[in-house]
Structure 1
Amino acid sequence: MNHSQLGKFILEISKSKLGFPKLDDALSLFNQMVRMRPLPPVIRFNQLLRALFRMKEYSVSISLFKDMCFKGLPTDQYTMSTAMNCFCRLKQVNAGSTILGFLIKRRYIIDSTFFNILINGLILEGRTAEAIDLFKKLVIEEDVDSKTYNEITFGIAIKALCKSNNSKGAVELLNNMHNYGCKPNLVAYNTLIDSLCKDGFLDDAFILLSQMKSREEEEGIITPDVITYTCLISGLCNVGRWDDAKTTFLEMNNEGISPNDVTFSILVNALCKEGNMKAAQEIMMKCGHCRNVFTYTTLIDGYITQGEMGKALQLLTSMIKDGIEPNIVTYGTLIHGYTTVRLKLDKALHLFRQMSSKGLKPNIQIYNILIQGLFYSGNCFLARKLWKELHVSGLRPDICTYRVLLNGLCRNGFHTEALSFFLEMKTVETMSLDIQCHGIIVNMFCKEGRMVRGFLQHNEFGEVMRFLKEMFSKGFSLDVTTLQLFVNLLSADRIDDDYDNVVIQDLFKVLIDTDISEIWSCQ
């Protein structure tokens, strides 16, 4: 490949949103460029690094940048800004700031690009307060060269204020941008409107919308777009203002702004939550491009919530006819419906097996749903089988899995197995059993009056006290239901002096701190 061919090829790659088809292609091209004589100009190396940045291969881009520096290859401010941006995207702001320090030391001209990257990096790393402080030093507190900030800088600062739950301060900053020679842009308005809607300040969000529409030409006319209206519709739906959401949707259409998939998905989801399944399905069917796996799954979930499994299955058929393949969430929704709504476990298991045949790997939530349903129906053999299968598949059980298993075993009378499993889990260093897991075991000992009426004959109170001691030592407290069981026990006045007085004292402290009416309400 000669220099001319390289220029055309890498220009096409750098403009593409996808970048290189394979990462190895980028590395191979870099090695080829390094061996070329004369060396390609720095712009070619920059285009390569930029393509890797678009591919989100930040670590690889940094590695090539370091290699360039080590080999003495040409670099410029654009190379440095790309490397700095990669460090910030990896949440390594301190490493990125060293590049800025290097440039300042070498007396490079630093423009707003570098400070924008740094402020945004601080936000990504969760250091929002530092991002706001840096913005203030650049723009407000010091008389610095105006080249160090621009409209984008203000937009990033507005995002930082919104992330720190200071939407009001963000509004004030937006309204004061003109004092610093900058004009608000659409991105800044959308960021702020989205934040106001999420925080529940919908009236303020609509004031901003009116402000956008009423801007004079000299101020810079800003036309709301689909993102603006989608944020507003989403905010209205979240607080149940369905009529206002529909009005805003119509206003959007009247202004010639076409809704996108996200807009329709929000409306469909909102109508499903409202229970208006007919209207939700009509919207989806009228809008061809919004028929996607998310909207279909949302509708399926809505019908299942209404107890209409038949209509949910009809939608699944329509979905497949539309050429849209169900995903894990779709299958999980249907399995949950069969397991908890209709208790048709055979059909739930059929869907479960169907997933595997289609190349979809069930996640831990789906296993939890099925194991719980099987235990509930008394099919302990199949529940245990799925538990073993879960491990073979390489999935890692979560705390919900352990609760389901403990509760299922206790529910079906396998108390010894439940206790053995509980004790086994306590020995696993990575496993932290919560209060509900402890409560299940303690409740197991209290079932059928075994502790209240005959704990001395069964000699089980010591086991319960050992559990209590461990729970208190780990900082757990007891829920009201479990406390009520022990109130019954203590009221029997049959506690031997041999038992751990410290634990009993801790139990009394918990009882004293608990509203006694809550305990008696459980009886």
Structure 2
Amino acid sequence: MGMNSAKSRNSLGFIFNHLIIRVRVPFHAFTYSTINTGSRDNVQNPNQNRNQFLQSVRDVCKARAFRSLDNALDMFDRMLHMRPLPSIMDFNQLLGAIARMKHYPEVITLVREMESVGIAPSVPTLNVLINCFCHLNRVDFGFSVLARILKLGHQPDCITLSTLVKGLCLQGNLAGAARLVVEMEKKGYKPSVITYGTMINSLCKIGETGAAIRLLRNMEEGNFEINVVHYNTIIDSLGKDIMVTEALNLCSEMMSKGVQPNIVTYNSLIHGLCNFGRWKEATSLFKEMEQRNIMPNLIDEAMRLFHEMSYKGVTPNVVTYNTLIGGFFRVGRPHAAVELFRKMRGQHPDLHTYAILLDGLCKNKQIVEAMTFFQEMEDEKLDPNIVIYNILIDGLCNVGKLTTARELFYSLPTKGLQPDVPTYNIMIKGFCNEGLIDEANELLEKMDGSDCSPNDRTYNTIIQGLLQHNKTSKAMEVVKIMVSKGFSANTTTTRILIDLLSANPTDKALQELLQ
């Protein structure tokens, strides 16, 4: 949708003239002495491996893999001395890469060097230049570059105008940015997602959340792909504007459209809820984060809000404690989890609290501490359930304390508990790991003769143990039983079989197992 006539170019130029106060200094005057071009005289033969060199420049620019600014400047010098000169596209790619390194003054100087040897900048070149001026807080010079584009008979593209919108926003001139967006649309230029995002962010920063929401609706009408960043910006602003209910509604709307909340979304919502004493809803969000597995990065923030609740006289309940203790374990901070548990003694930890605590300690191989808390639990007349025992037995097996695990396992009936399938699976795995295959088999037979039937995990565990201890014939028997019961080998079992067959390609028993 370009503008093809001189009349349309003049019209566009007139609009831009009224958006800003024009400056008389052309962009050539905006030079910097930060680069001493004379110091870069170690230039290699410009014709040496030309194509290979230019390809390496493109690759480094694409990967953003410059070692330093000097590395980029050396490449520029070599390109500048090549004959014939590289294409303007190669220069643009290098200029863009240096701009991404935030060396804006250097880019401006390099463009001047290019012109001094007769390289005419293209619209993409001048777009990079406009971007640099905007980041240097000189959007007025950016508009001078736009005037030059028009004077040369070129048409600005969407990147040109979107960059200027960003520059106006960076200067706080939102009214000018909004007018420019309107004029862009009138002239057939479609603002990009980035343009809208910049505008939304700027509006929210000055408290114009309503205007930001209207822009969001415009994006929807224009079939733009709205992402979580756009929503997060507005959700955060709504929370700060005492409109946390509206923020929650927008989050629900976002999710209904397939955009999933991230840690920033939850951070903003929880802040807003806590600021208005809506602790129950904040706690629910923490639990939701836990279920979505995005809790770990926010545990410190969770603790800050936890202390804020206490400071305001709101007593955190056991659910809050459970969530935080579990969060600390998941981010590898068991000491913080234990410390928090110690501080909740007046809140009566329940079985779930102890399950979280013991599981976290066992997974961190802190079995001595886990057994200490288990004893405290019994001292406080809390009757451990089978889940608690499974956690402890598994923890003991994993640190090689099979004797203690066995004692705990066989003591279950005296405590009024019966092992369930996970209990048997844990013990069978423990026996197999220690090479006690006969004891593992005894447990399997015991399960078969009880109401606690083996599952696929049981069979796979014992088959793996048998194979690892070269009991192929017995493994074959168990495989047949497993298949007859409708179960199949899992990935680990299959991999062990393949590895064994690779080592023993003539073993007919193994071949039969794999069939």
**Which residue of 469, 473, 484 corresponds with 2:329?**
473
Distance in 2 between residues matched to 1:264 and 1:185, nearest whole Å: 27
> Which position in structure 2 is the counterpart of 1:444?
305
Letter aligned with residue 58 of structure 2: T
* SS in structure 2 of the partner of residue 199 of structure 1: coil
Deviations 1:6-27 (A, max 9, x none): xxxxxxxxxxxxxxxxxxxxxx
Given that 1:196 and 1:204 are in contact with CA atoms closer than 8 Å, whether structure 2 keeps it comes out as: no
> Which position in structure 1 is the counterpart of 2:372?
none
Letter aligned with residue 181 of structure 2: L
**Which residue of 185, 190, 195 corresponds with 1:330?**
195
> Which position in structure 2 is the counterpart of 1:111?
none
* SS in structure 2 of the partner of residue 287 of structure 1: helix
Structure having the higher Rg: 2
Q: Is 1:318 aligned to 2:183, yes or no?
A: yes
1:418 CA drift (Å): 1.5
Cα distance, 1:358–1:235 mapped onto 2, change above 3 Å: closer
Letter aligned with residue 353 of structure 1: R
Q: Is 1:305 aligned to 2:193, yes or no?
A: no
> Which position in structure 2 is the counterpart of 1:367?
231
Which structure has more RCO (C-alpha within 8 Å, separation ≥ 6)? 2
Given that 2:96 and 2:128 are in contact with CA atoms closer than 8 Å, whether structure 1 keeps it comes out as: yes
> Which position in structure 1 is the counterpart of 2:211?
347
Cα distance, 1:445–1:268 mapped onto 2, change above 3 Å: same
TM-score for the superposition, normalised by structure 2: 0.51
* SS in structure 2 of the partner of residue 339 of structure 1: helix
> Which position in structure 2 is the counterpart of 1:413?
277
Deviations 1:317-360 (A, max 9, x none): 232233201232222221211112x2112212222222222333
Deviations 1:152-207 (A, max 9, x none): xxxxxxxxxxxxxxxxxxxxxx98997xxx76456336437748985154444444
> Which position in structure 2 is the counterpart of 1:296?
161
Superposed, which structure 2 residues align to 1:67-466 within 5 Å? Answer: 184=51, 187-188=54-55, 190-191=57-58, 194=61, 198-211=65-78, 221-238=83-100, 241-288=103-150, 289=154, 291-340=156-205, 342-427=206-291, 431-447=292-308, 449-450=310-311, 458=315, 460=316, 462=318, 465-466=321-322
Letter aligned with residue 55 of structure 2: A
Letter aligned with residue 248 of structure 1: L
Given that 2:123 and 2:149 are in contact with CA atoms closer than 8 Å, whether structure 1 keeps it comes out as: no
Letter aligned with residue 434 of structure 1: M
TM-score for the superposition, normalised by structure 1: 0.50
Cα distance, 1:438–1:247 mapped onto 2, change above 3 Å: closer
1:464 CA drift (Å): 5.4
Distance in 2 between residues matched to 1:196 and 1:387, nearest whole Å: 35
User: What's the RMSD between the two structures over aligned residues?
Assistant: 4.1
Letter aligned with residue 447 of structure 1: E
Given that 2:108 and 2:132 are in contact with CA atoms closer than 8 Å, whether structure 1 keeps it comes out as: no
1:470 CA drift (Å): 0.9
Distance in 2 between residues matched to 1:213 and 1:387, nearest whole Å: 52
Deviations 1:48-93 (A, max 9, x none): xxxxxxxxxxxxxxxxxxxxxxxxxxxxxxxxxxxxxxxxxxxxxx
Given that 2:326 and 2:357 are in contact with CA atoms closer than 8 Å, whether structure 1 keeps it comes out as: no
Distance in 2 between residues matched to 1:417 and 1:497, nearest whole Å: 20
Cα distance, 1:299–1:337 mapped onto 2, change above 3 Å: same
Given that 2:107 and 2:132 are in contact with CA atoms closer than 8 Å, whether structure 1 keeps it comes out as: no
* SS in structure 2 of the partner of residue 275 of structure 1: coil
Mind listing any 5+ residue stretches in structure 2 that lack a counterpart?
A: 1-43, 362-515
Distance in 1 between residues matched to 2:295 and 2:237, nearest whole Å: 22
* SS in structure 1 of the partner of residue 298 of structure 2: helix
Letter aligned with residue 466 of structure 1: N
1:383 CA drift (Å): 1.8
Given that 1:356 and 1:362 are in contact with CA atoms closer than 8 Å, whether structure 2 keeps it comes out as: yes
